[in-house]
Amino acid sequence: MPEPGPARLRRVLTRRDLVLYGLVILTPTAPYPVFGIVQQVSAGHAALSYLVAMTAMLFTAASYGKMAAVFPSAGSTYTYTQRGLNEHVGFLAGWAMILDYFLIPVLSVIYASLTAARLAPQAPAAGWAVLLTAAITAVNLRGIKMTARASGWLMAVMTGCAILFIVLAASYVVRGQGWPGLLAWHGIFRPAEFAWPPLLLGAGVATLSYIGFDAISTLAEDTFDPVRDVGWATVAVCLFQGLICVVTVYLAALVWPDFRSFPEPDTAILDIGVRIGGQAMFGALTFILLVAGLASALTGQAGASRLLLGMGRDGVISPRIFARIDEKRATPVRGILFLGTVSLAGAILLRFQLAVELLNFGALAGFLLVNLSVVRHYYFTLRRRGGWEMVHSLLFPSAGALACGFVWLNLTAKAKLAGFAWLAAGVLYLAMVTRGFRLAPSALDSLKGNADAD
């Protein structure tokens, strides 16, 4: 009896679904946890820092869109670098992004667990981690359409809170300074405090609020028209995210002009919430941070399972675990269960700050390589060099690579030490499975298939 064909992901997602997915993984409340830090390290230029970070990320978003148009695969960063640069470099890009995609749900579960423990201190954070991990894993096991539906509900709650914060902050400014107060120049630029190094440092921290948009490209095989929609959605999400972040931090700066007087920079947004809406707004912000953590964990786990699927199909990681797709649900069940286990262990064992720094390391390394892949594939291989095409094929991706490389190299020493150790482990693993780099990673799956046949 002939073997049935391999199960495939179902193309059920529209452009709207992709935009929603990207905004949920980034969350409209992303600037809340880091506003105070960005405002202080940039010397009062949080809004300008977010604009600089958005510009840098837009170059990278455009690069993801260009590579998704020619390689619409769930492998995303791994596939783009493998096809655009080199198969071994592609593996290392995927290895770096594994770190990133492992840590998105881990970070979200950690933060959501800590927030839940604050709301209900009688239950330990570890207990909340178990409950939240089980919940997001159960939703993802139901299939990508269920994930998209749950994301929509969570997005509605987060958007409602984000709009409420903006309205209350604007009302507070108008009550104190009148309508002209909403157009105060010091909310964006302070000539007396301005300097390029603090602004760039602030932009580096602000980049955190954009990391995760690349996960849209991991859903290429779940999308009706990935060639048309993935790139459009990726750029649109960066623009929407930039708009909500800039408006939020601009109004927050107007509500609390003295950036040096925050009681605690890490929770400055909660103090601003009390100022504009009393204890009720404080409670709402605390709750919404819990929802945001849950939403980001849900979508992050879905994207991670697709990246692992792409690498598993090539045989560079275990195909038995990561390349299997459940026929009924059309979803990589084993990969999702594996990620649920990793998320739970990481949420219990890792400290939040180290997880944040490692997330940045993996994401920025992948972004850098995707930008370089665009240059290699379009400018050198396809020789797209005429007129406007040179801008898209060389100048934009080069600018994205430089921006990502700058932020990447300016991460903390602890993050670079742990991150490069992870990459070194990837190099050793690749050397073993490719027999000292003599084999291409793409040949591994066929070799395993031949061995099984023998």
What are the boundaries of each domain within the chain?
15-453
DSSP 380: I
Q: Is the dihedral of CA 394, 396, 397, 401 positive or negative?
A: positive
Q: Is the dihedral of CA 377, 383, 389, 390 positive or negative?
A: positive
Taking the C-alpha atoms of residue 386 and residue 399, their distance in angstroms, rounded to an integer, is 18
User: Quick one: pLDDT at residue 118?
Assistant: 67
Taking the C-alpha atoms of residue 217 and residue 369, their distance in angstroms, rounded to an integer, is 15
Per-residue pLDDT band for 379 (boundaries 50, 70, 90) equals: very high
Report the percent of the chain where pLDDT is more than 70. Answer: 93
User: Quick one: pLDDT at residue 425?
Assistant: 92
- Of the two residues 399 and 314, the one the predictor is more confident about is 399
Closest among 32, 46, 430 to 203, alpha carbons compared: 46
**Residue that has been written with the tokens 């007087």 in this structure:** 261
DSSP 381: I
Cβ-contact 300, 316 below 8 angstroms = no
pLDDT, tens digit, for every residue of 100-152?
A: 777 878 877 887 777 777 677 777 778 888 888 888 888 888 877 777 777 78
**Residue that has been written with the tokens 């406007």 in this structure:** 388
Cβ-contact 82, 423 below 8 angstroms = no
Please count the helices (runs of H) and the strands (runs of E) in the chain: 17, 0
CATH architecture entry for 15-453:
Up-down Bundle (1.20)
Token pair of 58, please? 């837009």
C-beta atoms surrounding 157 within 10 Å: 16
Query: Amino acid identity of 288?
Result: I
Taking the C-alpha atoms of residue 107 and residue 129, their distance in angstroms, rounded to an integer, is 11
Token pair of 220, please? 């290429």
Per-residue pLDDT band for 445 (boundaries 50, 70, 90) equals: low
- Among the residue ranges 252-261, 274-283, 407-416, the one predicted with the least confidence is 407-416
pLDDT, tens digit, for every residue of 318-335?
A: 888 888 888 777 788 888
pLDDT, tens digit, for every residue of 418-431?
A: 889 989 998 998 88
Taking the C-alpha atoms of residue 300 and residue 378, their distance in angstroms, rounded to an integer, is 29
Note the pTM of the prediction, 2 decimals. Answer: 0.80
CA 391 from centroid of its chain's CA atoms: 26
DSSP 326: B
Taking the C-alpha atoms of residue 281 and residue 196, their distance in angstroms, rounded to an integer, is 35
- Of the two residues 206 and 75, the one the predictor is more confident about is 206
DSSP bridge partners of 331: 326
Burial call 236-249: b when 16+ CB within 10 Å, e when fewer: bbbeebbebbbbbb
User: Quick one: pLDDT at residue 453?
Assistant: 38
Is 331 strand, coil or helix?
Answer: strand
